Copies of this chain bind each other. A is one copy, B any other.
Amino acid sequence: MISIDAMGGDIGPTVTVAGVAQVLGRGADSTHFLLHGDKAALTEMLDRFPRLCDRVEIRPSDSVVAMDAKPAHAMRRGRGSSMWNAIACVQSGEAAAAVSAGNTGALMAISRLILRMVGALDRPALVANWPTLKGATSVLDVGANVVCDAERLVEFAIMGAAYHRAVHDLPRPRVGLLNIGTEHDKGHEEVKDADRILRAASFAFDYLGFVEGDDIAKGSADVIVTDGFTGNVALKTAEGLARFFRAELRATFTDSLNGKLGALLARRSLRAMAARLDPGSINGSPFLGLNGVVVKSHGGADANGFANAVRLAADLGRRDFAPTLARELERLAPARSAAASL
């Protein structure tokens, strides 16, 4: 069972219900869904997708967390909202995972409040699924943890590896630590200390050492670890550059008759490229470190993109991801003392 905040996102039910319909449309999947939100709006949307009826249950909720609500306000006033109820169903065990395209800060605050963090973790880490020359790299944290000490970075490595293993079926992901050079003396104290801890202990992944910004798109590592400030800037810089390239490409193929004819001839190849680079195809960022699975969809995602976030949540839910993560994190304490004794 997957719990959906059907009101979240820039658009709401039109996208979320159509996204769920896409996931079920694939057939073999036997997942059931709880749709939290405004009863009338959801009933109307479900009427458009009659075959959803026996797999989807509407759970009416009174309110919606606004896209611009402050996290503290959402925590105080969010009870009974579609977002709150979606997460509460994970806490009660009724659902294996929750998905929301709503306000990121509010979703994180409410998730922490209801589900609590694993062990001594402070805040969830946000993962980006980054398309690369070799497939996809999991990059974290991309914005939740602005200031990170060495242990925080090591926790990201453990959680990122567990996540990548679960999603990509890769037994020992290769993990890199983002820095401004690959020599041992590069970077600030936090990355140097994290490097020492990661080298000293044995985790369920292969630690590659330092990697640099250009290693992300190269696919040099399966998991790349950084603080939430750097990760957020890198991710948004890349998103901006991707838009820049699309604009350049559009200009190139509309600036002359030959350009237009060329684009017409190559249209199948160009469409295939556009599909490979479609941000919706990698939509869905899990909040790592919670006692339960919560996946954030981009607020502006279309039905296609929302469906991908839902598939990711279903996948993580099936794999019993949250308890696995808790077990992996128990390896940090011995690693820390091994590094300290060096």
The distance in angstroms between the C-alpha atoms of A213 and B214, with both chains bound, is 16
Task: Report the nearest B residue to A232, measured CB to CB.
Answer: B180
Main secondary structure of the interface of A (DSSP, over half): helix
Inter-subunit contact B187/A229 (CB<8 Å): yes
- Which B-chain residue is minimally distant from A213 (CB atoms)? B236
Pair A269/B255 contact, Cβ less than 8 Å: yes
Which of B147, B237, B269, B276 has a CB less than 8 Å from the CB of A214?
B237
Q: Are A180 and B146 interface neighbours, CB within 8 A? A: yes
**Contact between B215 and A240, CB atoms less than 8 A apart:** yes
Contacting A146 at CB < 8 Å: which of B187, B213, B217, B251? B187
- Tell me the minimal C-beta distance from A232 to chain B in angstroms: 4
Q: Determine the distance from Cα of A262 to Cα of B268 in the docked complex, in whole angstroms.
A: 11
A164-201 residues at the B interface, CB under 8 angstroms: 178, 180, 187-188
Q: Does A113 contact B (CB under 8 A)?
A: no
Q: Which B residue sits closest to A139, measured CB to CB?
A: B237
Contacts of A259 in B (CB 8 A): 265-266, 268-269
- A208-249 contacts to B, CB under 8 A, are 212-218, 226, 228-230, 232-245, 247-249
How far is B259's CA from A263's CA once the two chains are assembled, in angstroms?
9
Whether A217 pairs with B233 at a CB distance below 8 angstroms is: no
Q: Which residues of B contact A216 (CB under 8 A)?
A: 237, 240-241
Mask of A248-280 contacts with B, CB within 8 angstroms, 1/0 = 110111011011011111111110110011000
Interface size class of A (residues with CB under 8 A): 35 or more
The reply to whether B213 and A244 form a contact with Cβ atoms under 8 Å apart is: no
Question: What's the nearest-Cβ distance from chain B to residue A125, in Å?
Answer: 14
Asked whether, in the complex, the Cβ of B265 is within 8 Å of the Cβ of A261, the reply is: yes
Residues of the B chain whose Cβ atoms lie less than 8 Å from the Cβ of A243: 214, 217-218
| B133→A244 contact, CB < 8 A | yes
* B residues near A244, Cβ cutoff 8 Å: 132-133, 217-218
The answer, yes or no, to whether A292 is at the interface (CB within 8 Å) is: no
Chosen A-B contacts, 26 in total, with CB atoms closer than 8 Å, are A132-B244, A147-B188, A180-B229, A180-B233, A180-B236, A187-B229, A212-B233, A213-B235, A213-B238, A213-B240, A214-B239, A216-B241, A217-B240, A218-B240, A226-B233, A229-B230, A230-B230, A234-B234, A248-B273, A248-B276, A248-B277, A252-B270, A253-B266, A261-B266, A262-B262, A266-B266
Closest CB pairs A-B (n = 3): A262-B266, A213-B236, A214-B240
